[in-house]
């Protein structure tokens, strides 16, 4: 946590980071007065390493490494509770999204590797078929993470209820979608990894 190490604000870095967030999210983190309302309403705060309020502080201190390399931005479910509640009209959820985008573009190694894997797999399937095939996503994720047998019973239940379609659909538009996805994949590659 922040307190465990002496940290000094770096105003130059802060300026730059806030500028980039402004471009992506259209909101100015500099307005934050640290009331903590965002944290108070966040449903996922217990799974985070920094609270949303702390993220705002870290941004304003220019602690770029910390905010791009944390769990918080990946655990955030984009529920927008923070955004609608912030008394300073900061779009906190959009800031989280901007930080995720920046982390990927900079090729930062993330501690939330399982969540990233989930998203990347999702994109791989959508890029290939044009639509999400849920069974492929769930199975793929379980193979990757070695949690193959967790939820097996649930899978069977869903299958019996006709909730798992066995074959993916592939509309003609899949090719155009593949182009968009490869634009992104290309930029990810440039980001490093």
Partner 1 sequence: MNSYLYYPGCSLAGTAREYGQSTLAVLRRLGCEIPELDDWTCCGASSAHSLDHRLGLALAARNLALAEAQGRGLLTPCAACYSRLAAAWHGVRQGGEVAEWLREILGRPLEGTFRPRSLLEFLVVEIGSHEIARQAGVPLDGLKVACYYGCLLSRPAEWAIDDADNPQLMDGLLEELGARAVPWAYKTECCGSFLALARTAVVFGLVERIVEAAREAGADCLVTACPMCQANLDMRQRRGRPPLPIFYFTQLVGVSLGLAPEVLGLDRHIIPGLPLLRERNLVSGPVGLRERLLR
Q: What residues between 44 and 73 interact with partner 1 by CB under 8 A?
A: 44, 46-47
Q: Is the CB of 92 or the CB of 135 nearer to ligand SF4?
A: 92
Residue 33 binds which entry of partner 1, ligand SF4, none, CB below 5-8 Å type-dependent? ligand SF4
Q: What residues between 73 and 112 interact with ligand SF4 by CB under 6 A?
A: 76-82, 86-88, 90, 92-93, 96
Chosen residue from 9, 16, 19, 33 binding ligand SF4 by CB under 6 A:
33
Q: Which one, of 77, 154, 151, 141, lies nearest residue 114 by Cα?
A: 141
Verify binding: residue 115, partner 1, rule CB under 8 A.
yes
Give the binding-site size for ligand SF4 (rule: CB under 6 A): 28
Give the binding-site size for partner 1 (rule: CB under 8 A): 63
d(CA 113, CA 127) in angstroms, rounded, equals 21
Verify binding: residue 132, ligand SF4, rule CB under 6 A.
no
SS3 of the chain: the string is CHHHCCCCCCHHHHHHHHHHHHHHHCCCHHHCCCCCHHHHHCCCHHHCCCCHHHHHHHHHCCCHHHHHCCCHHHHCCCCCHHHHHCCCCCCHHHHHHHHHHHHHHCCCCCCCHHHHHHHHHHHHHHHHHCCCCHHHHHHHHHHHHCCCCCCHHHHHHHHHCCCCCCCCCCCCCHHHHHHHHHHHHHHHHHHCC
Residues that bind partner 1 in the complex, under the rule CB under 8 A: 24-25, 43-44, 46-47, 74-75, 77-81, 83-84, 91, 93, 97-98, 100-101, 104-105, 112, 114-115, 118-120, 122-123, 126, 130-135, 138, 141, 150, 154, 157-158, 160-165, 169, 171-174, 176-177, 179-181, 183-184, 187
Q: Kindly list the residues in this chain that would bind ligand SF4 in the complex (CB under 6 A).
A: 32-38, 41-44, 52-53, 56, 76-82, 86-88, 90, 92-93, 96
């Amino acid at each position: 946590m922040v307190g465990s190490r002496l940290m000094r604000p770096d105003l130059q870095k802060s300026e730059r980071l806030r500028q980039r967030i402004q471009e992506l999210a259209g909101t100015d983190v500099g307005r934050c007065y640290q009331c903590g309302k965002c944290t108070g309403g966040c449903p996922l705060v217990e799974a985070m390493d920094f609270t949303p309020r702390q993220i705002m502080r870290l941004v304003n201190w220019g602690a770029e490494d910390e905010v791009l390399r944390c769990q918080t931005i990946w655990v955030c479910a984009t529920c927008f509770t923070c955004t609608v509640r912030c008394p300073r009209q900061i779009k906190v959820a959009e800031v989280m999204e901007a930080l995720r985008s920046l982390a990927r573009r900079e090729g930062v190694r993330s501690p939330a590797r399982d969540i990233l894997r989930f998203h990347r797999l999702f994109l791989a399937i959508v890029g290939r078929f044009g639509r999400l095939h849920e069974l492929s996503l769930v199975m793929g994720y379980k193979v990757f993470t070695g949690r193959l047998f967790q939820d097996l019973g649930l899978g069977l239940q869903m299958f019996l209820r006709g909730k798992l379609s066995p074959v993916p659909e592939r509309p003609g538009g899949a090719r155009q979608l593949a182009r968009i996805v490869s634009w992104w994949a290309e930029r990810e590659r440039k980001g490093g990894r």
